[in-house]
Amino acid sequence: MSGGPLRGVRVLDLTRLLPGPVATLHLADMGADVIKIEDHGVGDYARTLGDGPDGVSVFYRSVNRNKRGLRLDLKRAPGREVFLRLARAADIVVESFRPGVSRKLGIDYETLRAINPGIVYCAITGYGQTGPLARAAGHDLNYIGLAGVLDQIGVDGGQPAIPNLQIGDLLGGAMTAVMGILAALFDAQRSGQGRLVDVAMSEAVLAHNLFPFFALQSAGGLPQRGADLLSGGDAGYGVYATADGRHMAVAPLEAKFWDVFCEALGRPEWKTRHAARGAAAVALRRELEDLFAGRTQAEWRDFFADVDCCVTPVLAVGEALEHPQFVARAMAVHADGVMQYAPPLKLSGWVFAVDRVAPAPGEHSEELLREVGFTEDEIVTLRQTAII
């Protein structure tokens, strides 16, 4: 990678599936040397979740690129000693065990801090390292349900709708983890002292559930599902079906955009209905539904192409990848036999590249051990005894 801002930073990644691997993916893409450590059993079972070339899923290939692979038995003392030796030369450790597991294995933050005071240790869990649910099992649906997010997702009169974007896993387990890791790393490089970064996916969702939180304090209570300003209460912010069964995202929420919207449609009399509420909003929404049902999505797309009022087509992901905006920003890359997303940010002086495809189990074990001083005889013994 050219100018990767995290070049020279070494990460030991003990995570699997989605949240942790996506967090370390962002670090790896920005130049960090991420070492993916897997056990001798199934390892990261994301490999087999879905189809992909040679039996390795698109999922696994896409979230584990630019990493090196080490297979290590942490349940046996020699494996633990290998990990501790690696940790002495590492900057970051990321794990997603239930609380208490890393201590049982002898690789917890306190143990690592004793041998490497500058280590940044990120523990990603559903509910955090403390509290009554700390050791409880959970999935994304549980985290957004407990945090009051799921309750507000859906249409008026309907039950909560399950989003296809894993909000807790990605907002919490990935992006919040990266935020905490980079903050702690920045401080560690100034002070020489690392930190434990305790990331609870449920808390990350709760802390970003802003508009219901505001309403709870300013409006005296929550709106009904599908009746909030941005979920159905304002006719100028919604999804409207087109003649061909597709949809348009219509969001001229501010008065200046609403005025442009009304003028473009030849409905200047609608300007005074901006920000209508209650029955007036319901009536306006019905008129907008009738209007958008009169043309196909493609016709509306072309109609609004040069009208600056926040109206866009609702695209499927394949269509999004072909949209000129995302093409111009090179958001799709082809690597390892599959299409993958590019990183969701651009930095000056940094040219993103897929330098390494996702590793096979233990693919780089021997080279990694050589780098931290293991002799050839030691490596042979570790291999023969199935430690690596």
> Can you tell me the distance from the alpha carbon of 224 to that of 237, in angstroms, rounded to the nearest whole number?
16
b/e burial code for range 23-46 (CB count within 10 A of at least 16 → b): bbbbbbbbbbbbbbbbbbeebbeb
174 pLDDT above the threshold of 50: yes
User: With contact defined as beta carbons under 8 Å apart, do 65 and 340 qualify?
Assistant: yes
CA 12 distance to own-chain centroid: 19
> Can you tell me the distance from the alpha carbon of 40 to that of 80, in angstroms, rounded to the nearest whole number?
14
- What is the reported pLDDT for 2? 54
Tens digits of per-residue pLDDT, 334-357?
A: 999 999 999 999 999 999 999 999
- What token pair was written down for 327? 């093409």
Q: Which amino acid is at 295?
A: R
Average pLDDT of the segment spanning 166-194:
97
Q: How confident is the model at residue 1 (pLDDT cuts 50, 70, 90)?
A: very low
- What token pair was written down for 15? 């995570």
b/e burial code for range 66-87 (CB count within 10 A of at least 16 → b): bbbbbbbbbeeebbbebbbebb
Q: What is the DSSP secondary-structure string of 25-73?
A: HHHHHTT-EEEEEE-SSS--GGGGSS--GGG--HHHHHHSTTEEEEE--
- What token pair was written down for 38? 């897997």
**Considering 33, 108, 169, 336, which one is annotated as catalytic?**
169
Tens digits of per-residue pLDDT, 41-60?
A: 899 999 999 999 999 999 99
Average pLDDT of the segment spanning 49-76:
97
360 pLDDT above the threshold of 60: yes
Average pLDDT of the segment spanning 305-310:
98
The verdict on pTM exceeding 0.85 is yes
Q: Check if 208 is active-site.
A: no
Average pLDDT of the segment spanning 68-95:
98
Q: Check if 234 is active-site.
A: no
User: With contact defined as beta carbons under 8 Å apart, do 169 and 140 qualify?
Assistant: yes
- What is the reported pLDDT for 249? 98
**Considering 139, 290, 308, 355, which one is annotated as catalytic?**
139
User: With contact defined as beta carbons under 8 Å apart, do 116 and 194 qualify?
Assistant: yes
> Can you tell me the distance from the alpha carbon of 378 to that of 258, in angstroms, rounded to the nearest whole number?
71
Average pLDDT of the segment spanning 150-178:
95
Question: Which alpha helices (H) appear in the chain, and where do they start and end?
Answer: 19-29, 58-63, 77-88, 101-105, 109-115, 140-146, 167, 177-191, 201-207, 210-218, 255-264, 278-292, 297-304, 317-321, 324-328, 365-371, 376-384
- The greatest distance separating any two alpha carbons of the chain, rounded to the nearest whole angstrom, comes to 84
Percentage of the chain with pLDDT > 70? 99
- Order across the sheet with 311-313: list the strands: 238-241, 247-250, 311-313
Tell me the pLDDT of the chain averaged across its residues: 96
Q: Which amino acid is at 134?
A: A
Closest CA to 223 of 249, 232, 159, 250: 232
> Can you tell me the distance from the alpha carbon of 121 to that of 332, in angstroms, rounded to the nearest whole number?
31
CA 112 distance to own-chain centroid: 27
Q: How confident is the model at residue 289 (pLDDT cuts 50, 70, 90)?
A: very high
- Pairing mode of beta strands 311-313, 332-335: unpaired
Could you give all domains of the chain from N- to C-terminal order, each with its CATH number?
10-208+343-384 (3.40.50.10540), 224-241+247-313 (3.30.1540.10)
- What is the reported pLDDT for 220? 81
User: With contact defined as beta carbons under 8 Å apart, do 91 and 185 qualify?
Assistant: yes
